[in-house]
């Protein structure tokens, strides 16, 4: 495939956003890359690597870097051979090329020797076109991404203890509002997308855009200690962790994301997690996951508009019980009721669907809630009869689902200035936390659902909140933040519950 004007010599004096460097064997990839990037509004041209350029491949790449903000190399075995790239020590012909201006898109499973092992790279081979297109645009979305990503990152999260802070708002009369900021886990590698506390206690789990799941020992909550690491994504910085869930007993952890596979790990020994279930099936990114209380049933929701139900006791294609295709847009949230008999799913179509999953191989849709005026980002059951939803309309909302075929709105939770993107509920259902794209976290007492009481508003310092979780006893609250940090607070939820 060749698009008119896609590949050829650069006009003199033109400054490009990107120059695509390729060899003739990869011309179709170069054409496709130029087409996609031009469609995204980038000024881009493609230049074939000369067979014997004066000064070698290094001089050709340096010259291309002088005409563009970035040079995108279509990396393959053929390109490596033409460039004379080797695994030898530094000092070769390519080592004077400005590496911070280079990005490599691997179009086959080839080596990354020398210079190409030190620059930002991502994979396009083996992907369906919609996924390849989004990964390309994600990697090259912002000017300077190559320079930023090429900076080496520390191997472990840095824990920054923080002094106590007062709630941003005073608590309602009669409600304890003490919230203490315990720690900020700064992870320079990537934004944090999800956070969980396994019910056994003493462990915090985070999932990031670098495809890693990290477990921390909370023997001293003010100084979480790295405990173990799980590699969910095999393509670094492409296969994000999007969502996680734990079983009621804390022995199972489910992880989903851009690798388009569902994984479940045994956390009986949290210092040595063991993967016990892994299966693919979604046609696009998996954005949401939930485990039934006994962890035998898993629900996943994806960019492909599908809600899938899996039997985690089975393997292979037999484990997929049903794929529900009732949503009209991407599914962003799924949640089981505490008794495991009902499932809520929600997403970009602004609706929440309630399902009877007593027979998980044949779910019955009970109701459709026109829940919010914008996308629904999160759903949580507080009890078998009370549901919370969070939307892009800056609201969280409580629903009475006692009669699941006729849900009724109970109360709205307000205060966020942007979309409400995350929810967390204590095990007893009394306390609800909301997190937003405004970076704020708000805590509510919902013991009386028809009259929720604001308890605390915590000012954000690390960007949008992607995920929230309470510890099983309600004493700790964690937030996964876009600003490459996980924030840990001590709340007085446990004490309040004990004095009811």
Instruction: Kindly tell me if the per-residue pLDDT of 439 is higher than 70.
Output: yes
What is the percent of the chain where pLDDT is above 90? 60
**Is residue 127 assigned to a domain?**
yes
Residue 102 to residue 107: CA distance in whole angstroms: 16
| Environment class of 424 (CB within 10 Å of its CB; exposed 0-12, middle 13-18, buried 19+) | buried
Across the range 29-56, mean pLDDT stands at 86
Q: Is the alpha carbon torsion for 215, 289, 253, 422 positive or negative?
A: positive
Beta pairing, strands 396-400 & 408-413: antiparallel
Decide if pLDDT at 497 tops 60: no
Tokens of 424: 């967390």
SS3 content of the chain, % helix, strand, coil (to 5): 15, 40, 45
How many separate domains does the chain show? 1
> Mean of the pLDDT values across residues 128-151?
61
- Partners of 378 in beta bridges: 390
CATH number for 132? 3.40.50.10140
Nearest to 321 by CA among 346, 350, 292, 349: 292
pLDDT band at 223 (very low <50, low <70, confident <90, very high): very high
Residue 107 lies in a domain: yes
Of 67, 66, 72, nearest in space to 26 by CA: 72
233 band by pLDDT with thresholds 50, 70 and 90: confident
Q: Is residue 32 part of a domain?
A: yes
For residue 170, pLDDT beyond 60: no
Residue 134 lies in a domain: yes
| 240 found inside a domain | no
Instruction: Examine residue 140 and state whether it is found in any structural domain, yes or no.
Output: yes
Q: Which residues contact 398 (CB under 8 A, 6 or more apart)?
A: 382, 386, 387, 388, 409, 410, 411, 412, 413, 446, 449, 452
- Judge whether 385 lies within some domain: no
pLDDT-based confidence at residue 388 (cuts at 50, 70, 90): very high
Condensed to tens digits (0 to 9), the pLDDT of residues 447-461 reads: 999 999 999 998 768
Is residue 393 predicted with pLDDT exceeding 80?
Answer: yes
User: From CA 342, how far away is CA 354, in angstroms rounded?
Assistant: 7
Among the ranges given (61-70, 84-93, 160-169, 425-434), the one the predictor scored with the smallest mean pLDDT: 160-169
Say if residue 79 is exposed, middle or buried (CB neighbours under 10 Å; 0-12, 13-18, 19+): buried
Between residues 193 and 171, the one the model is more confident about: 193
CB-CB contact of 432 with 382 (8 Å):
yes
What is the per-residue pLDDT across 272-330, written as a single tens digit (0 to 9) for each? 999 999 999 898 889 999 999 999 999 999 999 999 999 999 988 999 999 999 999 99
Task: Please tell me the pTM assigned to this model.
Answer: 0.73
pLDDT of residue 251: 95
Model pLDDT, residue 218:
95
| Residue 489 belongs to some domain of the structure | no
Structural domain of 43: 16-150
Q: Tell whether the model's pLDDT for residue 261 goes beyond 70.
A: yes
């Amino acid at each position: 495939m060749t698009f008119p004007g896609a590949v050829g010599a650069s006009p003199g004096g033109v400054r490009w956003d990107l120059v695509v460097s390729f060899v003739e064997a990869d011309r179709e990839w170069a054409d496709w890359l130029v087409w996609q990037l031009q469609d995204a509004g980038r000024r881009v041209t493609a230049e074939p690597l000369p067979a014997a350029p004066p000064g070698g491949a290094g001089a050709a790449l340096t010259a291309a870097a002088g005409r563009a903000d970035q040079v995108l190399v279509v990396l393959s075995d053929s390109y490596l051979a033409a460039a004379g790239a080797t695994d030898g020590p530094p000092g070769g012909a390519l080592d004077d090329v400005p590496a911070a201006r280079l990005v490599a898109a691997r179009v086959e499973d080839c080596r990354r020797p020398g210079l190409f092992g030190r620059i930002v790279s991502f994979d396009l081979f083996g992907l369906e076109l919609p996924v390849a297109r989004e990964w390309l645009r994600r990697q090259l979305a912002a000017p300077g991404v190559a320079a930023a990503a090429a900076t080496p990152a520390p191997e472990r999260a840095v824990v920054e203890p923080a002094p106590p802070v007062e709630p941003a708002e005073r608590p309602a009369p009669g409600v304890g509002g003490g919230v203490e900021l315990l720690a900020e886990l700064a992870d320079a590698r990537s934004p944090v997308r999800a956070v969980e506390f396994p019910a056994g206690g003493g462990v915090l789990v985070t999932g990031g855009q670098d495809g890693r799941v990290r477990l921390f020992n909370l023997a001293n909550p003010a100084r979480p200690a790295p405990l173990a690491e799980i590699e969910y994504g095999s393509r670094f910085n492409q296969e994000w962790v999007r969502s996680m869930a734990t079983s009621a007993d804390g022995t199972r952890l489910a992880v989903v994301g851009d690798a388009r596979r569902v994984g479940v790990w045994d956390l009986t020994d949290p210092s040595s997690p063991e993967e016990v279930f892994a299966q693919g099936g979604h046609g696009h990114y998996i954005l949401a996951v939930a485990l039934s209380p006994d962890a035998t049933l898993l629900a996943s929701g994806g960019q492909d508009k599908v809600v899938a139900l899996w039997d985690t006791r089975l393997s292979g294609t037999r484990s997929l019980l049903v794929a529900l295709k009732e949503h009209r847009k991407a599914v962003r949230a799924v949640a089981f009721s505490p008794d495991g008999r009902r499932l809520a799913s929600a997403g970009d179509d602004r609706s929440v669907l309630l399902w009877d999953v007593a027979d998980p191989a044949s779910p019955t849709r009970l109701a459709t809630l026109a829940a919010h005026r914008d996308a629904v980002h999160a759903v949580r059951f507080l009890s078998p009869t009370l549901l919370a939803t969070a939307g892009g309309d800056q609201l969280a909302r409580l629903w009475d689902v006692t009669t699941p075929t006729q849900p009724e709105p109970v109360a709205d939770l307000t205060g966020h200035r942007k979309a409400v993107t995350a929810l967390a509920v204590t095990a007893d259902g009394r306390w609800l936390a909301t997190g937003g794209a405004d970076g704020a976290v708000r805590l509510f007492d919902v013991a009386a659902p028809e009259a929720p009481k604001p308890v605390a508003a915590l000012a954000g310092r690390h960007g949008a909140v992607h995920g929230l979780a309470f510890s099983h006893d309600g004493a700790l609250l964690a937030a996964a933040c876009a600003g490459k940090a996980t924030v840990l607070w001590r709340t007085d939820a446990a004490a309040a519950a004990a004095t009811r």
